Structure 1
Amino acid sequence: GKTTTTAMIAHAMRASGRDAGYVIGGEAPDFCVHAKRGSDPWLVLEADEYGRAFHHYTPRIAVLTNCESDHLDYYGSQAALEEAFLRYVSTVKPDGALVVGIDAPRAEVLAAKLQVQRADVQIVTASTRTAADYRIESADDSYEVSTPGGVICGSLKQPGEYQRQNAAVALAALEVAGFDGPLAAQALSTFNGVNRRFQLHGEMNDVVVLDDYAHHPTEVSAAIAAARQRWPDRRVVVLFQPHTYTRTAYLIDGFRTCFAGADAVYTVDTYAARAMTGDELNSEQLASEIVAPSARYAGSIAQSAELAADNARAGDLIITMGAGDIGAAGPIIISRLGGTR
């Protein structure tokens, strides 16, 4: 949720009339550009863990949404990754704050370690599931957040528990930064999300086609759950493009079960963003490893899009999913559903 949370915070700051700067690692409809230097003292920066890039900042407020197993091709082990995250949160300025989403267990552990090392840092927690400084509860897309100062009510355009988690963390960071919580929640109700995050491709012949950036098992499961929340009566079909052969290999335990909420899964040729090392799994192998539902290897983006369209039923929801170029499948599906072949 780094990109979405960054965009949420920047959107709320700017909606308050402040010319806050921002650096967002994705395209967001509410922003004309990825980055802008504002005249306000606040800059909202998306910090990336790959290559330890997030060690180069000294934030007044650090936000930690999770510490999932990822980029292990670079870090080598989960322990090394967690040590890098601990160093990131340790870069907070004296008497600064860490806002942490404690629904992610490793993030909560890192916050506890920081509290021991840096008594000067204020630890602020946010959760959808358990007691926290900012506890968000919802009914559909509306929510209530219990905060140290009272209850804040709001709504989101995007469905899913993970979006509510993002909102809870964003509201916590905004209040810690001195912004008005209810006004921030009002701004989040107008937030239009981030491209490739639960983004609608279109609808044709009662088949809805979405695009989502999910490429980690936790993200895949969350995106499918959000789809079920928004469209409970539709059959969910996933076209999944693995992102690198090595990531598929070291996350295979999660990939075996994370698609369980879908009704059908097609795996698409792997997006090989980085070089092969010899310890990998390709997309066809991934399909054979998925426990449920039974997955089918579908080949290239074009081949998988055509296969999904040809097997679609009225009432289906098709999600193109992955961090590579799988978004190109959406227009092919829409076109083929419309009879243009």
Structure 2
Amino acid sequence: MRLEQLHSVYFLGIGGIGMSALARWFMHRGMAVYGYDKTPTKLTDQLISEGMKIHFDDQVSLIAEDVKSSDKESVLVIYTPAIPKDHQEWAFFREHGYVIKKRAEVLGLITQSLFAVGVAGTHGKTTTSSMVAHLLKVGGVNVSAFLGGITQNYHSNLLIHEEGLEEAVAVIEADEFDRSFLHLHPNISVITAVDPDHLDIYGDDAHIVASFNDYAQLTSAGGELFISANAVSRLDKAKLGEVSIKTYGIDKGDIQAKNIQIVDGVFHFDYTSDLHQISGLELLMPGYHNVENALAAISVALSLGVSDSAIKEGISTFKGVKRRFEYVVKNNQTIYIDDYAHHPAEIDAFLKSVKAMYPNKKVTAVFQPHLFTRTRDFAAGFSESLSLADEVVLLDIYPARELPITGVTSEMLLEAITVPHQMSSKSNLLEDLKKNEIEVLVTIGAGDIDTLVLPIKNWLENK
């Protein structure tokens, strides 16, 4: 189909971070944008304020008459895999012959005429893709970006290139969930991590690895592939396509971060490879894992002609992504950091960085597990990684798209946690925290734990 011929676009699940970026892109192109989502959020409020018409009840009668009465060939329906099979509006569109596509399919259509940079990985892809987009923007590259988080620099999950200028570059966060990234055809690819995840979709680890190998092969012949040195051993190099392959990591890989120092929470390091060296880089977004993400972003920027001086400026001015190592409170008495980590490897990397930055302070971690299947599949890993904190508070599992599984609860993590720990609830968390001495507090999780951030912030600032 030809996207420029569309009159209206209807989103089933418009409030998702990836879906909302697409909605904004179509709105920018002058098309009418409508949508449904299960619950109103700050993001859906923003979309409505931008002119989109959104409702929150699954009722066919609420679908706009403009959508129902338009020529079906001028309407595109985009859905997220999280929409349940018995959704009434989805059934209406299927039964009446509308063109219906997944978000990833549409991303592939939008970017097929652009030079594309795809950033994939079971974790790290949001920060890395946002960093790539920022470095290109600072370097004067005409760039669009479809991101899985709200960048602190641009307060959006979408950047749009200027028409009529030099060839545009599209930066795309390539999501492995539901094998969505297999709809893309990048010229440059990044793979940040290939850890087991989404086993409810893939079944086992072998199928995840196979899917990432399939993604790597989509990189255009003669293109470039940057892979984390920790991830490359899990892939079959014989199946990575006809591309230039470079690995990156801290003190390992073809591209390395050297001379890492932490000064007042700022990570200082040097970028080194056989072909290039940039000394004295300063990364405001903390974390050793973010230094690795920066190596990938710098490598992409260098490949696209960004100068060393622009890269140094871009790294030093990158403010991060909402809910990725985000400082909420930072004063002489208390540090409070919020993070989206929802996999044991992410929690491990996050807490190791927090402990390195605040070695003489007690770290209290509040964690909300995300999905029953993920909690079941990685219970031992969650307990081990959370034990890096000095004390742990667990909330109930956030179910997202899943129904409960008998015997799978947050309590199953408690026994193997080796530091002081307790259960709490969203409604009681503040009162439970008030009983503890708080020095460094971190909230961790991908569910609705973010709704607690403001109340915790207000308490810490006023106590």
Q: TM-score, with normalisation over the residues of structure 1? A: 0.91
Q: Deviations over 1:228-258 (max 9, x none)?
A: 2222221100000000111001011211211
Equivalent pairs counted in the alignment come to 330
- Identical-residue share of aligned pairs (%): 30
Q: Deviations over 1:278-320 (max 9, x none)?
A: 3662112222332x2132111x22312321233124xx10101
2:269 corresponds to which letter in structure 1? Y
Shift of 1:65: 0.3
Higher Rg of the two aligned structures? 2
Q: Deviations over 1:90-149 (max 9, x none)?
A: 101111111111123xx333262335xx3x21101111132x221112122110111232
Is residue 272 of structure 2 the alignment partner of residue 149 of structure 1?
no
Of the candidates 109, 116, 129, which is equivalent to residue 6 of structure 1? 129
Q: 1:94 to 1:228 in 2, by over 3 A?
A: same
Q: TM-score, with normalisation over the residues of structure 2? A: 0.68
Aligned with 1:58: secondary structure?
A: coil
Partners in 2 of 1:204 and 1:37 — Cα distance?
A: 36
Aligned with 1:258: secondary structure?
A: helix
Q: Deviations over 1:53-90 (max 9, x none)?
A: 10001100011001111101111100111111111111
Of the candidates 129, 133, 136, which is equivalent to residue 254 of structure 2? 133
Alignment match, 2:354: 227
Partners in 1 of 2:452 and 2:179 — Cα distance?
A: 33
Contact 1:238 1:266 in 2 (8 A): yes
Aligned with 1:189: secondary structure?
A: helix
Partners in 2 of 1:252 and 1:145 — Cα distance?
A: 36
Is residue 153 of structure 2 the alignment partner of residue 30 of structure 1?
yes
Alignment match, 1:186: 313
Q: Which runs of 5+ in 1 are unaligned?
A: none
Partners in 1 of 2:154 and 2:427 — Cα distance?
A: 31
Alignment match, 1:93: 220
Alignment match, 1:335: 458
Aligned with 2:195: secondary structure?
A: coil
1:23 corresponds to which letter in structure 2? F
Contact 1:246 1:276 in 2 (8 A): no
**Higher RCO (CA < 8 A, seq sep 6+):** 1
Alignment match, 1:311: 436
Shift of 1:205: 8.1
CA RMSD of aligned residues (A): 1.9
Is residue 378 of structure 2 the alignment partner of residue 256 of structure 1?
no
Partners in 2 of 1:175 and 1:339 — Cα distance?
A: 46
Q: 1:279 to 1:103 in 2, by over 3 A?
A: farther
Shift of 1:195: 0.6
Aligned with 2:289: secondary structure?
A: helix
Partners in 2 of 1:278 and 1:230 — Cα distance?
A: 38
Pairing 1:1-341 to 2, within 5 Å after superposition: 1-39=124-162, 40-104=167-231, 107-110=232-235, 112-115=237-240, 118=241, 120-130=242-252, 132-137=253-258, 138-140=260-262, 141-153=267-279, 154-203=281-330, 206-276=333-403, 278=405, 281-290=408-417, 292-298=418-424, 300-313=425-438, 316-337=439-460
Shift of 1:325: 1.3
Contact 1:221 1:258 in 2 (8 A): yes
Q: Which runs of 5+ in 2 are unaligned?
A: 1-123
